[in-house]
Structure 1
Amino acid sequence: MLASFVVKSGALGGLCAKCPQRCLGAVQAAQNSSIAKRIEDWDKANAIFYGPERDYKNFPTQRQLETPPPVRLGFLPESWFQTLYPRTGVTGPYLFGVGLLGYVLSKEIWVIDHNFSEMLGFWGAILWLNHKFGDKIGNYIDRLRETNYNDWFVKPVQEAKEIYQTEIQENEKAIWRAEGQKYLFEAKKENVDLQLEAAYRQRIQNVYTDVKKRLDYQVDVLNTNKQFEQEHMVNWIVSGVMKSITPQQEKESITSCLQTLKKLQATA
């Protein structure tokens, strides 16, 4: 039952968080099945204990009081006095106590001997200590109880919640990273495709450049051949014409040119 409470409260998570990883692995390996079984039994017990058939009016849920119920004279519950007030009045409980004391003394139910003085001294010392240090001791015990409550329940639960919240955030990040792997794979695939496309275009550019160089070479060869043929033909024609001109024709041509220049000079 206590183990189930520890599991439900989250104290086990805080304990596991403080253990080394190797100890944590051993504990988890040994207790996974038993913890699951205990949690299942705990849920079944809660379903029965807090089920719809329970009579909460006659059998309410017991809760631990934060402070003890008030008392009188250090040990008599206040509820006794409140119960007797409607029947006996304000002084009734005290008269009832005195009468009950006289009854047990007269019937020798309580026999007083010479050791009774020790009891008076003992209870007198108890009452004096209660009056002198009762509040301090009570406050110290309350602080100690509060410290133990925080150390054994509040802090483990808070630490377990923080650990679980951290684990949830880490798992959400892991899910986000896992989803991002798909986009990363697509990006890498597109990057490879772009690289292949760039290599393909580079090869096409190289082919284009090589083909253009070869075509330019053929054009240059053709132009060179034509230019060579043209120059050869011009030289052949000029050489043939020069050979066909006689010295007399050359002289007449020069004379005709001089006359033409004189006419042009006269008209200018």
Structure 2
Amino acid sequence: MVNKSLKKLYTFLIFAFLYAPIIVLIVFSFNSSKSRGVWTGFTLKWYVELFKDAEVLKALYNTLLIAVSSAIISTIIGTFAAIGIYNMNGLGKKVVLNLNYLPVLNPDIVTAVSLMTLFRFLRIEFGFITMLLSHITFCIPYVILSILPKLKQMNKHLAEAAMDLGATPLYALRKVIIPEIMPGIITGGLMAFTLSIDDFVISFFNTGPGVSNLSITIFSMARRGINPVINALSTLMFIGLLGLLLIINKRTDKNQGERGGLI
């Protein structure tokens, strides 16, 4: 009984430690004062100001556009790469897996400077395209690592059985393999999306004039004081992402229930 209570307390403390800063941010997004440490009254003015701040809205637009684009592209590339790696054998598979681990283990600054040097060498003009390409490159390894465990859980003979019954390789991929690994694909896509939104170092080194995402904009604001509008924006982003996760989890549970019913 004591051990069970200690486990619950330990779990509560972990989640309190993780989410207390977010809760404080949400509370102070309704604070009428610009001070981040003193509560002076409830207000919605920062949410109103948010939709009047052209700089923040432009940064938000760039952030979401790059995050969605990089998540979709990196998920597509990562899915096919993971399937290819899974079907490899021997030393070649180990080499490719280790190469995939390197960008994950590398400090972000190394990846950022490397990409910046590559773009300069190729004489690519810095701007939206370079930031998008750098985010795609950064996210692909994480997508691969999210999908590989699902491929290992899958019965590797399913695709072969489908092709023995007359399915083409492409049809077997669409109707057999991808549905089986869909949870991993969704996880990889969400991870790519959140990594792209969160990234600062890679964005900072690979952006160009007139292109700024939220992390760069907030970094610039930090020198003269964070605008409380950022608290309101962060609150809306957190609620939006939380809602997205709940919808995805509900759909995943529903699909698993339907499959269980069929079995």
Q: Output the TM-score relative to the length of structure 1.
A: 0.19
> Which protein has the larger Cα radius of gyration, Structure 1 or Structure 2?
1
